[in-house]
Amino acid sequence: MSYVLREANEILRIFQSDFHFVKNHRLCLAWRRNGSYFTYCVRVSKHSGALSMKNWKLGLGGTSAMAMGQLARWIRGQSRVPISAWEHWAGDQIRLAGDRGDELVAAIKRSSYGNGKKTHCVLCGADRCGDWWSLDNVVGPCCTFSKCQRSCKEKQ
C-alpha cells in the first residue's frame, strides 16, 4: 500500500471510521456493516470535488462526501482544497470530526497532503481557496470567482 494511501486512511478514520480506501486497479472505498464487507469504486465529481452522487448512496453528508472526495484526489495526485478548508470543516461551525477536530487538523498538517502547487488556486496560484473550478480541463480549488477573474485579467 502506498504511503499516501496509508496517510489518507489515517485521516479518514478520524471522521469516518467505518470506511477505508483500497487500491487495486481502481481506487475504492471499503467498509463493513452487519458482518458483511462492501467495496464501491470511488467517483469524484470534477464539478465539485466531492464524491459523486452515486457514492452518496453510502449515507454520507455533504461535508463528508467533499472531504472523502478530496482525499481520493490526493491519493490520485490531483489538485485538492488547501488545508484551510480542512480547518474550516473541522472547526466549531461544521464539526466534520465531531469532538476530534483538533486531531483531524493535526493529522492533515503532518501528512503530505499540503503539497503547495496541488492545493493552490488553479487559476491564480493563491494559497487560500474557497471555491471549486471546473472548465476547459482545468479542475481544482480556486479563490472566489471574482478575485480569480480580476487576477487572471491582470496577468494578461
pLDDT, tens digit (0-9, with 9 covering 90-100), for 87-109: 999 999 999 999 999 999 999 99
Whole-number Å distance between alpha carbons of 36 and 43: 22
Contacts of 104 (CB under 8 A, 6+ apart): 11, 14, 15, 86, 90, 96, 97
d(CA 13, CA 81): 19
pLDDT category of residue 145 using cuts at 50, 70 and 90: low
Enter the pTM of the model.
0.90
Could you tell me the CA-to-CA distances from 40 to 21, 25, 28 in Å, in that order?
A: 10, 13, 5
DSSP 85: H
Joined grid coordinates for residue 84: 484551510
Beta bridge partners of 36: 33
Q: What is the DSSP letter of 144?
A: -
* Whole-number average pLDDT of the chain: 88
Q: List the one residue out of 44, 34, 46 whose CA is nearest residue 141.
A: 46
Type and span of the H or E element at 61: none
What does the alpha-carbon distance between residue 26 and residue 124 come to, in Å, rounded to a whole number?
Answer: 32
